[in-house]
């Protein structure tokens, strides 16, 4: 089973010099998760709130996750949290991963970025899943007084050891959680970012509006939304009705983040599995570059990465990066990934 120790965190830099952290785990067709408001690539593995997402999605797909600028393991010294900047960051990340065509899962506040990416790059997005998403700002977008109160609570209580103010957000996200789960969510808030970033990113998200992009989404789309979601109330049907031929699944839950022990979770998991099933075909090796196939043929001769690097006059790190791209493209992971990729290029496994 994957874990924080085995996921392999990597970094890339945006065109404005910000360091972004990303990781992959699981096996199967690639699924890129567009980061939501709070994330931490390592801390999430310890989570009684998020761990089941990582385990179950990793059983369905090769999951690529990242921490947005200002959050988690990505750089915190940033000031631009605009939709345009977040989209540009995602474009940079995609190039760094080597992904060519893949499914996208936009969760919560990551949904507008996922929509914008799918609209701008229809040739890259095989399928789009929007979960707990919105096309506009988040909680209380149309109630400015309430929004100001939320921002004041962030300024007053985000960094304090006492979670009194942070518990307001926790109650909105997971109202039916256990105390253990709520305590973890309280702590995630101040672990994932600082007060200034929390306020600035919230202000930027409040201004987002991608409703005009919805009719232009070409990818098959699945919209999942909790009936009693208080973070993005009413947005599920609005998203689904705006995207051509989108399928809407309403979930029997009040939680914005579904918990592992509630009946809505297996419904979510099974719906996503069925939706991604069409992508679960063996990718032919002609999708690999000439250099990537060359590396696999050398590996088939029994050469290790150092010997391959010497043969091709490359750095060992470059060879390792090529192999990681191969695994992503072929939907492979774990200790057997290299052997499986070599078998594939030698024609020892079925190609479809």
338-349 pLDDT, tens digit per residue, is 888 888 887 764
Give the integer Cα–Cα distance in Å for 236 and 229: 10
Per-residue pLDDT reduced to its tens digit, 33-49: 998 878 999 999 999 99
Higher-scoring residue by pLDDT: 197, 287: 197
The residue ranges of every structural domain in the chain are 10-279, 285-345
Contact 330, 101 (CB under 8 A): no
User: What's the CA dihedral at 166, 169, 174, 179 to 10 degrees?
Assistant: 20
Q: What pLDDT score was predicted for residue 280? A: 73
DSSP string, 222-276: EEEEETT-SSSTTHHHHHHHHSTT-EEEEES-S-SS--TTSTHHHHHHHHHHHHH
1 has pLDDT over 70: no
- Quick one: 10-279 is in which CATH superfamily? Alpha/Beta hydrolase fold, catalytic domain (3.40.50.1820)
H or E element: which one contains 205? Answer: helix 195-206
What average pLDDT does this structure show over 146-167? 91
User: Encoding tokens for residue 37?
Assistant: 């408001």
Q: Does domain 285-345 have CATH number 1.10.10.10?
A: yes
- Is 285-345 in the same CATH topology as 10-279? no
Assessment of whether the complete model's pTM goes beyond 0.75 = yes
Q: Are 176 and 255 in contact (CB under 8 A)?
A: yes
Q: Following DSSP, what letter does each residue of 97-166 receive, concatenated?
A: HT--SEEEEEEGGGHHHHHHHHHH-TTTEEEEEEES--SB-STTTT-HHHHHHHHHHHHHHTT-SS-TTH
Average pLDDT estimate for 215-226: 98
**225 strand-pairing partners:** 250
Q: Length of the chain, please?
A: 352
Q: In Å, how far are 20, 71, 111, 251 from 78, measured between CA atoms? A: 11, 10, 21, 36
Mean pLDDT of 283-293: 82
């Amino acid at each position: 089973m994957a874990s924080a120790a085995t996921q392999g965190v990597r970094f890339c830099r945006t065109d404005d010099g910000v360091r972004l952290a990303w990781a992959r785990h699981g096996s199967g067709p690639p699924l890129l998760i567009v980061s939501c408001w709070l994330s931490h690539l390592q801390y999430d593995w310890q989570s009684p709130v998020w761990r089941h997402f990582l385990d179950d999605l990793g059983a369905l797909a090769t999951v690529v996750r990242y921490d947005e600028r200002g959050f988690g393991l990505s750089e915190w010294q940033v000031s631009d949290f605009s939709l345009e900047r977040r989209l540009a960051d995602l474009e940079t990340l995609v190039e760094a991963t080597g992904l060519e065509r893949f499914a996208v899962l936009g969760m919560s506040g990551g949904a507008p970025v996922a929509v914008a990416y799918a609209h701008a790059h229809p040739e890259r997005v095989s399928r789009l899943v929007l979960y707990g998403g919105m096309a506009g700002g988040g909680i209380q977008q149309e109630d400015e007084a309430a929004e100001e109160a939320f921002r004041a609570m962030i300024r007053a209580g985000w960094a304090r050891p006492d979670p009194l103010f942070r518990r307001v957000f926790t109650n909105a996200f997971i109202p039916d959680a256990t105390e253990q789960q709520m305590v973890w969510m309280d702590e995630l808030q101040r672990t994932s970012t600082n007060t200034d970033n929390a306020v600035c990113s919230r202000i930027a998200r409040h201004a987002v509006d991608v409703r005009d992009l919805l009719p232009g989404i070409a990818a098959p789309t699945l919209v999942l939304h909790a009936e009693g979601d208080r973070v993005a109330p009413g947005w599920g049907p609005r998203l689904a009705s705006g995207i051509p031929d989108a399928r809407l699944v309403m979930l029997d839950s009040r939680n914005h983040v579904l918990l592992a022990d509630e009946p809505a979770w297996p419904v979510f998991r099974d719906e996503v599995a069925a939706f991604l099933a069409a992508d679960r075909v063996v990718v032919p090796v002609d999708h690999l570059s000439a250099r990537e196939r060359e590396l696999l043929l050398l590996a088939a001769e029994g050469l290790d990465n150092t010997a391959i690097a010497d043969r091709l006059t490359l750095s060992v790190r470059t060879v390792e990066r090529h192999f990681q791209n191969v695994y992503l493209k072929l939907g492979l992971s774990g200790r057997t990934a290299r052997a499986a990729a070599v078998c594939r290029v030698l024609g020892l496994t079925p190609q479809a």
